Amino acid sequence: MTLWSGRFTSSMDATLWELSESFSFDQVLYAHDIEGSKAHVDGLVRAGLLEAGEGELLVSTLDQVRGEFERGEFIRAASDEDIHMAIERRATELAGAVGAKLHTSRSRNDQVATTLRLFTRDAVTEIARSALRLVDALVYVGAANADAYLPGYTHLQRAQPVLLSHHLNAHAWSLLRDVDRLLDARTRMNVSPLGAGALAGTSLPIDPAATAAALGFGSAFANSMDAVSDRDFVAETLFDIALLGVHLSRMGEELVLWTSAEFNFARLGDDFTTGSSMLPQKKNSDVAELARGKAGRLVGNLTGLLVMLKGLPLAYNRDLQEDKEPLFDSVRHINLVLAAMTGAYRSLTFNAVVAQAAANDPYLVAIDIAEKLVEEGLPFRQAHEMVGKLVGQSVSSGVDFLQVVGQDPQFARFSVLFEPGAALRRRQSPGASGPLASQAQANRLATTREALEARL
Ligand code: ARG
C-alpha cells in the first residue's frame, strides 16, 4: 500500500516502480532527513498540532530509526519508494498511531528540499576543508624546497624562472578561490524550505522561521513555490565542484608532465604511483591522471543538472529527483581526488638540479637584458628589438646566447645576468616570482587561508 492509495484502484506497474524509486541512492540522506523531521516535529508541538508527549515519542523514534541506519540494520520494505517514505513508514511501525501525524502540514516536496539543503551544506563544508588541506600540502612542498626554482612557461615554452613555491602557490590561490566560492554558495543555500508544503504553504498554524532557526538556517523561504522548486543550490555546488575539478585536472596534467622522463622535474612517492602489469620499469602517475580524468564527470554532472532544470514549470516536478545522483557523485569524487592529490603532493620529491638547469637556459635572460637597457633609458620596444636580434644571431649561428652576449662589446656588461639564479632574484615586483617578493605573498596566502578557515 502506498501513502496515496486512497484515490487509486490499482497498484503501480513494476516498470514505473523501478523508474521512480530513489531509495537505492537517496538513503545516504537518512541523517539529514531525520534532522529535518525532528525540527518539524518540534514545530508541530509548538503549533499545538501535536501533544508534547507525542512529540517526544516521535523524536525518540526518529533517533531510533537513525540508529538502525547507522548500524546497517535498517530493513527496506517493499513499499519504501524513497528515504522519506522509508523513514516515515518505519517510524510509524515503531511509534504506533502517532506516526500518522508526522507528515502533518508537510509534503515530501518541502521535505526533500530541506533534507537536500542540509546535506549539501555539510558536503560543501567538508569539500572546503579538504581543499584547504591541499593548499597546506602545496605550501608544504614549496617550503620544503624553499630555494628551488624552475622555468615558468607560457605556451609550454620556457619563459622566465620562477620559484617552485611561487609556482605551487599559483595553484593554491585558485584553490582558495574555490573555497571562497563554496562558502559563498553555502551562505546562499542556507534558507529553509520547510513549511512550504507541496507548493502553497498550509492552512495549519506553523512557523517556518522557527524550524529554520532550529536547523541552523539563516532564514526561512519567502515564497513557497520557489522553496520547493529551487535547485540553484545544487547547480551552484556542482559548478563550484566542477571548477575545483578543473583546477585539480590542470594540476594533474602538470604532475604528469613533471614526472615524465622528458621533464624529470619531480617524482611521486611509491605509495602514490602504480606499476605496469607488463612493463617492469614503469612507475605511473595514475593519481594525477585520475585527477585530470575526473573533471569530465564533474563537468558532466553540472551540465546534466542544468539541462534537467531548464524546462521545468513551477513548482515541484518529479524530474527534480534527478538532482541527487549527480550531486552525490560529484561530492564523492571531488573528496576522493582532493585527498589523493593532497597525499601525492606530500609524497613529491622535486628534482631541483634538473629543473634549475632548465631554468638557467640562457635565453630566459633575454628579457633581463632588455629591462637593463630600459633602466639605462632605452624605450622598451627598442630594447626588445636589439635583444631579439642577439637571440636571432645565437639561434642562426648555433652559438650559445651567453657567448653571443659576452662577445658583443655593446652587451658584454650584461654577462653577470647569466649567473644561475640571477634572473630569478631580479623578479622583485609585488607578487613576482623571485625570493624577495615571496615572503609577502606567503603572508598574504596564510592570512587568506586563515580567514577562510574561520568561515568553515
Ligand atoms: N524522492 C522525491 C525527490 O527526490 C521526493 C519528492 C517526491 N514528491 C512527489 N511529489 N512525488 O524528489
According to the model, what pLDDT value does residue 182 have?
99
Of 10, 155, 203, 396, which residue is the catalytic one?
A: 155
Q: Rg of the chain's alpha carbons, rounded to an integer?
A: 30
| pLDDT at position 9 over 90 | no
Average pLDDT over residues 422-437: 94
Summarize the confidence of residues 366-374 as an average pLDDT: 97
Where b means 16+ CB within 10 Å and e means fewer, 206-217 reads bebebbbebbeb
**Predicted pLDDT of residue 135:** 98
pLDDT the model gives residue 7: 77
CA torsion sign for 398, 399, 404, 407 is negative
The tens digit of pLDDT for each residue in 295-349 reads 999 999 999 999 999 999 999 999 999 999 999 999 999 999 999 999 999 999 9
Q: What is the pLDDT of residues 384-397, one digit of tens each?
A: 999 999 999 999 99
Q: What separation in angstroms does the CA of 286 have from each of 96, 131, 261, 262, 296?
A: 54, 20, 15, 17, 16
- What is the DSSP secondary structure assignment for residue 321, as one 8-state letter? G
Best of 24, 109, 120, 314 for a ligand 1 pocket test (most atoms within 8 Å of beta carbon): 109
Angle between helices 83-95 and 52-70 (to 10 degrees): 120
SS3 of residue 159 by DSSP: strand
Q: Residue 259: what pLDDT?
A: 98
Nearest Cα to Cα of residue 105 among 226, 194, 20 = 194
Residue 422 burial (10 A CB sphere; 0-12, 13-18, 19+): middle
Catalytic site residue from 20, 260, 276, 397: 276
Measured CA to CA, the distance from residue 197 to residue 49 in angstroms comes to: 15
Of 64-68, 152-156, 390-394, 432-436, the one with minimum mean pLDDT is 432-436
Residue 241, pLDDT above cutoff 70: yes
Mean pLDDT, the chain, whole residue set: 97
What pLDDT is recorded for position 221? Answer: 98
For the chain, percent of residues with pLDDT exceeding 70 = 100
User: How many degrees, rounded to 5, is the angle at CA 213 between CA 449 and CA 314?
Assistant: 95
Measured in Å, residue 112 CA sits from the centre of ligand 1 at: 7
Identify whether 171 is a catalytic site residue: no
- 155: annotated active-site residue: yes
Q: What's the pTM?
A: 0.96
Q: What is the pLDDT of residue 8?
A: 83
- Site to probe by mutation for ligand 1, drawn from 2, 81, 106, 112 as the one with most ligand atoms within 8 Å of Cβ, is 112
Is the model's pLDDT at 403 over the cut of 70?
yes
For range 90-106, the mean pLDDT: 97
What distance in Å separates the CA atoms of residue 364 and residue 134, rounded to the nearest whole number? 31
Average pLDDT (56-75) is 98
If you measure from the C-alpha of residue 108 to the centroid of ligand 1, how many angstroms do you get, rounded to a whole number? 6
Q: What is the CB < 6 Å shell around ligand 1?
A: 22, 82, 84, 108-109, 112, 316, 318, 320-321
Cell of 214: 532550529
pLDDT in tens, 191-230: 999 999 999 999 999 999 999 999 999 999 999 999 999 9
| Cβ-based neighbours of 150, under 8 Å, separated by 6 or more | 161, 162, 164, 167, 265, 355, 356, 358, 359
Looking at residue 1, what is its pLDDT? 60
Q: Can you list the alpha helix ranges (DSSP code H) found in 259-323?
A: 286-309
Atom 2 in ligand 1: which residue has the minimum CA distance? 321
